[in-house]
Structure 1
């Protein structure tokens, strides 16, 4: 209980996010995972300064880092939007109970009537695990109202059995789906292209017509294989990570749909 004249310190999230450079970094990472040098270019600040503020954001639990599978000397930074939602809820409640919002309320699926069909492409290297999982989850969450595809820069001959299994656990069946090469989509138009593999990001071509690019740096679940048996827990973690990102993508797609509907 504070005595008269005492003022409570601002919540940790407010102290972290209020700094102009840290807010800019959070804004950039809200749309895509980036490497340090990319963030340096986007915010136009020295690398040592950007790295310093990224360390503070990591220390506050808002940002995580994963080693790049393309170049082990690099790391990709990722914004934990769920943790940000909880932090915002706590910050509002600290100011006044009437400002509390329930962070656990799920982002509503796009069960709305879409005015136009949004096209989304997910890309990874083999198109056998991460990108088909993302494709299936987005189609599931939007009840087919989004035109979603997936492809690989070096596609495998078939989907990984554990990708099929992990989706089947949540009621999605894709046994007839086959990996396809990025080249088969040459000339196609997409509103959003999202790479889920650090190597595929380097190989993914540019798409015309103001396509919005984003990168989700998600570890390859097949890398945990022991002989012919993959670590199924890795696939469960991958599917959970992708599902969280898909939930946060839905409002972005809603905004895209509204923009396209404007004259």
Structure 2
């Protein structure tokens, strides 16, 4: 009989492969399609697809159908599952290495007189996903990050579920906020630009100052009931909380 103490935990067996580790590393920063991962890691598509399937079977990666053309799928790293798997991996080596997880990571500090990190969230209508992300980032960083949102084709007003979901689940009130067009913030300087909509990703223009770009492939909750809308807000909240250390460690560009 094999001594289970001599068998590496599932996360180690999955992540230890060099190519799978590369894929996890790329997906930690953004959601990608297979052809984009092929370009990023410079490996054949059939090999990428094979290892993505293993990561999906292991529960570390999920895939959602692109809402842009319906043919492609975006792959997403489940950071909650990875965090728990990493904690369990440490605990399997020695009990003292099993830390208590606290996903509510520390918000980035801002030195006196320093420019605040600026983050822009973009979706199509700027009525649900991007204003939720904007509100949650502002909430979790206690205003230490300058969060904004915009749409490539903004709606006249916020989705009816947006304000009540944020108020009930997070105690945030954005009832006075209105959607705005991406052109209205085009001249502003951002450190990070994050698209939350596959269509918006294709339509979002490049910025002259070259902010750090990322994509979160989140289905539009506009046709969902209030429970589905809540699940979308929870998904965004998870991504926001794991964005915080990225903001803390990323390079801050000097003021122009």
Range of TM-score over shorter length: over 0.9
Counterpart CA distance in 1 for 2:201 and 2:210 is 18
Q: 2:17 aligns with which of 9, 19, 26?
A: 19
* 8 Å Cα contact 1:128-1:155 kept in structure 2: yes
* Structure 1 residue 153 corresponds to structure 2 residue 147: no
Structure 1 residue 111, shift from structure 2 partner: 6.4
Counterpart CA distance in 1 for 2:68 and 2:104 is 32
| C-alpha distance after superposition, 1:216-242 (max 9, x if no partner) | 001111133xxxxxx111110011000
CA RMSD for the aligned pairs? 1.7
Secondary structure at the aligned position of 2:52 is classed as: helix
Structure 2 gaps of 5+ residues are none
* Structure 1 residue 179 corresponds to structure 2 residue 179: yes
Aligned to 2:70: 72
Counterpart CA distance in 2 for 1:111 and 1:33 is 23
Structure 1 residue 133, shift from structure 2 partner: 0.5
TM-score, length basis structure 1 = 0.91
* 8 Å Cα contact 2:161-2:229 kept in structure 1: yes
* 8 Å Cα contact 2:108-2:245 kept in structure 1: no
* 8 Å Cα contact 1:63-1:80 kept in structure 2: yes
* 8 Å Cα contact 1:158-1:178 kept in structure 2: yes
Aligned to 1:227: none
* 8 Å Cα contact 2:123-2:200 kept in structure 1: yes
Decide whether aligned partners of structure 1 residues 161 and 198 sit closer, same or farther in structure 2, where only a CA change above 3 A counts: same
* 8 Å Cα contact 1:116-1:260 kept in structure 2: no
Structure 1 residue 260, shift from structure 2 partner: 4.5
* 8 Å Cα contact 1:124-1:151 kept in structure 2: yes
Aligned to 1:123: 122
5 Å-filtered alignment, 1:112-261, equals: 112-114=109-111, 115-169=114-168, 170-224=170-224, 231-256=225-250, 259-260=252-253
Structure 1 residue 171, shift from structure 2 partner: 1.1
* 8 Å Cα contact 1:111-1:143 kept in structure 2: no
Counterpart CA distance in 2 for 1:2 and 1:19 is 22
Secondary structure at the aligned position of 1:37 is classed as: helix
Q: 2:83 aligns with which of 85, 103, 106?
A: 85
Q: Which runs of 4+ in 1 moved over 2 A?
A: 106-109, 111-116, 258-261
Of 168-177 and 109-118, deviating more is: 109-118
